[in-house]
Amino acid sequence: MRRVMGYEARFRCVAGCAGTYPLDQVIYRCPSCGELLEVAHDLEALRDRSAAAWMRLFDERWMSTRWPYGSGVWGKKEWVAPGVRDECVVSMAEGGSNLFWAERYGSSLGVGDLWLKLCGNSHTGSFKDLGMTVLVSVVRQMITDGKPIRAIACASTGDTSAALAAYCAAAGIRAVVLLPKGKISTAQLVQPLANGALVLALDTDFDGCMALVQKLADEPGVYLANSMNSLRLEGQKTVALEMVQQFDWQVPDWVIIPGGNLGNVSALGAGFEMMMTLGLITKRPRICVAQAQAANPLYRAYKQGWDSFEAMTAEPTEASAIRIGNPVSVRRAIRTLKAFDGVVEQASEEELSEAAAAADRTGTYACPHTGVALAALEKLVARREIKKGDRAVVISTANGLKFTDFKVRYHEGRIPGTSGRGRNVPVELPPDYEAVKRAVLSDLDRSAK
Ligand SMILES: *Cc1c(COP(=O)(O)O)cnc(C)c1O
Ligand SMILES: [Zn+2]
């Protein structure tokens, strides 16, 4: 890819083998050792601006309408994918998501400085948009430059396929998605259908879909969009940049993030590292990866002191987007956790459901994955690992509106083990004033007690 603005980014092996590859080469693994690739930026070139100048530039662009910089991702273009020409960018103003002070929920736990980064307030309702805008833009440039790409394919637990389908539709590129049949939410299935993708519903789990799509990507003209393709992580990395920017360039003490394939935790780590290297920040937050107990291979490895990692068969969980037993970015994630004094926590179905419901009673609409992170937060607070004055940020990965089935099951008492404490169901009444009045007044009396 041509150098633009003097900045450059290239693929290199995560295990440190020699050799780099341009971002518009179709390559997913190191040819020497088979490990994943990562995107390496020319940091010397990026030092042509001081830390203060970068912060000023990013602040000037924040939420503007100047193409393509109003996007939370492309506002940081030089740090993400400097070689993409502006006319090839496929953006739907992703990023810039709100960072919300969860005052009532935080104080119910004894944490006064608790924040939720609502990454699900985005075009397709999850943080997957942040990575997909980068990947689809690079592919659009490759196609423009005459590369024979005919389709972009992914395996998905639901949100990746929704994002891929939307960005491909915006760019006029064919999208192919492989989904585990019956294991994603209705909204997540309908999204790629509406955007006109070829949707293959397979009678297997996510890990089964992943194995098949990797083979499919060997076919000529099929480009792979899963997060083993580190272009996506470059976009997702901006969540770390945004959160620090939103705190006036201050670093929180803790970041808690639900993890499945473990690309996102690696991406956030890369974002913080880059800000350290270029002098925008001077300390690292601690990171907690939160896993569903039903799909907890990283938690198990952590408990064994990182001695060994063993893939597992993930069991059903309400947190269906992290139902992954063989995470592709596990090595990157462990490296990140070691550098960020990290911990791993887990949440049972009951814990994730109750945590989401408790937060909802203070005004959120938490998806089950956010529920996993909130349950982890509660455990860290109870253990006093997160201290009273600490500033903690929970990454809310998807919009709760995509998970209506989960909310309905909880409130109808259909999630085994839940106490029903947070249940709320409609009161059905005849259209009769006395009945309505009785219902309202007795409710007010009850809640006054
Ligand atoms: C993809 C996804 C995750 C997990 O991210 P990984 O990078 O796979 O660890 C968590 N929550 C939601 C809602 C997701 O869509
Ligand atoms: Zn290698």
pLDDT digit string, tens, across residues 7-39: 999 999 999 999 999 999 999 999 999 999 999
Q: What is the pLDDT of residues 299-319, one digit of tens each?
A: 999 999 998 999 999 999 999
Taking the CA of residue 60 as centre, how many other CA atoms within 13 Å lie in the half-sphere pointing to its CB? 7
Band (2; pLDDT cuts 50, 70, 90) = very low
Stretch (H or E) spanning 368: helix 368-382
140 lines ligand 1 (CB under 6 A): no
322 lines ligand 1 (CB under 6 A): yes
pLDDT, position 5: 63
pLDDT, position 100: 95
Percent of the chain with pLDDT over 90: 94
Q: What are the backbone angles phi and psi of residue 47, rounded to the nearest 5°?
A: -75, 0
At 393 the three-state DSSP class reads strand
418 lines ligand 1 (CB under 6 A): no
Q: What are the backbone angles phi and psi of residue 82, rounded to the nearest 5°?
A: -65, -20
Q: What is the pLDDT of residues 262-303, one digit of tens each?
A: 999 999 999 999 999 999 999 999 999 999 999 999 999 999
The bridge status of strand 99-101 relative to strand 113-118 is antiparallel
257 CA: nearest ligand 1 atom: 10
* CATH of span 99-125+230-412: 3.40.50.1100
Which ligand lies nearest the alpha carbon of 369?
1
Q: Which of 37, 39, 4, 6 is nearest to 236 (CA)?
A: 39
Contacts of the segment 377-383: beta carbons below 8 A, 24+ positions apart: 377/109, 377/111, 377/114, 377/256, 377/288, 377/290, 378/109, 378/351, 379/345, 380/254, 380/256, 380/288, 380/343, 380/345, 381/109, 381/110, 381/111
Report CA(73)–ligand 2 centroid distance (Å).
28
Token readout for 304 is 């064994």
Report CA(331)–ligand 2 centroid distance (Å).
13
pLDDT, position 420: 80
Which ligand lies nearest the alpha carbon of 226?
1
Report CA(111)–ligand 1 centroid distance (Å).
25
367 CA: nearest ligand 1 atom: 13
Task: Kindly state the average pLDDT of the residues 121-140.
Answer: 98
Q: What one-letter code names the amino acid at 141?
A: Q
Report CA(201)–ligand 2 centroid distance (Å).
34
Probe residue for ligand 1, chosen from 126, 188, 228, 374 as the CB with the greatest number of ligand atoms within 8 Å = 126
Asked if 362 and 422 touch (Cβ cutoff 8 Å), the reply is no
pTM of the entire predicted model: 0.96
Band (227; pLDDT cuts 50, 70, 90) = confident
For the packed helices 186-194 and 404-411, what is the interaxial angle rounded to 10 degrees?
A: 160
